[in-house]
A and B are shown apart, each in its own frame.
With several copies, the nearest count.
Chain A
Amino acid sequence: MAKTEIRVGGLGGQGVILCGSIIGKAAAIHGGKHATLIQAFGPEARGSACSAQVTVSDDVIGYPYVKNPDILVLMSQDAFNQFIPQLKPGGMVLYEAELVKPDGKLPEGVRAMGVPATRFAEELGRRLVLNIVMVGFFAGVTGLLPFEAVEKAVLDSVPRGTEELNLKALKKGYDFGREQAV
């Protein structure tokens, strides 16, 4: 009854929800698992903090909220500050290396890995795909889901005409993640 709880955090406009959604979709539709995604906007939806809670499990998921995530995927400093205290002991933090500075605020026993996702995305020509880089990075580091499942989920989720760019972003993040994971 393996269950992995993930919190994705960042700012509105960064594609935080989509990032969580692709992870969930990869698990639930292409990965043969169960997954639940909860979106959380602040009371004021726009412009401010934004986060997604993803539960991936071999079994049916009851309680849908992620209180103490196993994995954090963070794309802003605010999100980092907010969510780090919730992380499970021994959990994992994946962060955008240019927007988040862990600066020794990490609890002991936590594995933290950064990825210059924004830079990668800009190199690929569109800052907007930073969230897909993060998805790839997540997949690469955690190995929670088969790459093909994630790939299919990305293809299902991005606007027509942007598939290639997004797959490149995914690969980029994934490869970077594999390297780190080793």
Chain B
Amino acid sequence: MSDDQQRKGRGTVFVKEEVCKGCSYCIDFCPTHALEFAREFNAKGYHYPVLGRPDDCTGCDNCGLYCPDFAIYGARWKDIDEKKKAK
């Protein structure tokens, strides 16, 4: 993800797969429909979201605002890079 080649959209998401309960809020309320369910289950038996269409992700963090489980958030590459630099 940090690899520049992989940078397709304007942003990306970070998912805590094991915390996700598969409610699909993030998927349904992503303005660009960039997310989809993973085919895998997590340990609790839930499907978690993956960035199926990374091109479409704007890093707007709408997914993060909706997630009731704090299991996902989005960020813009711009901001990620800044953070990285600041480290």
Contacts and interface: CB of A to CB of B under 8 A. Distances in A.
Interface string A92-124: 000000010000000000000000000000000
A78 B44 CA distance: 8
Interface in A42-86: 47, 76-78
A77 B43 CA distance: 8
A76 B21 contact: no
Nearest to B21: A47
Contacts of B43: 77-78
Contacts of A154: none
Nearest to A99: B45
Contacts of A99: 45
A47 B44 CA distance: 9
Nearest to B46: A47
B45 A11 contact: yes
A76 B43 CA distance: 10
Nearest to A47: B21
Contacts of A78: 43-44
Contacts of B44: 11, 78
Interface string B12-33: 0000000001000000000000
A47 B21 CA distance: 9
Nearest to A49: B44
A126 B44 CA distance: 21
A77 B45 CA distance: 9
Given A47-B21, A76-B45, A99-B45, 5 more contacts: A11-B44, A11-B45, A77-B43, A78-B43, A78-B44
5 shortest interchain CB distances as A-B pairs: A11-B45, A76-B45, A47-B21, A99-B45, A77-B43
8 contacts: A11-B44, A11-B45, A47-B21, A76-B45, A77-B43, A78-B43, A78-B44, A99-B45
Interface of A: 11, 47, 76-78, 99
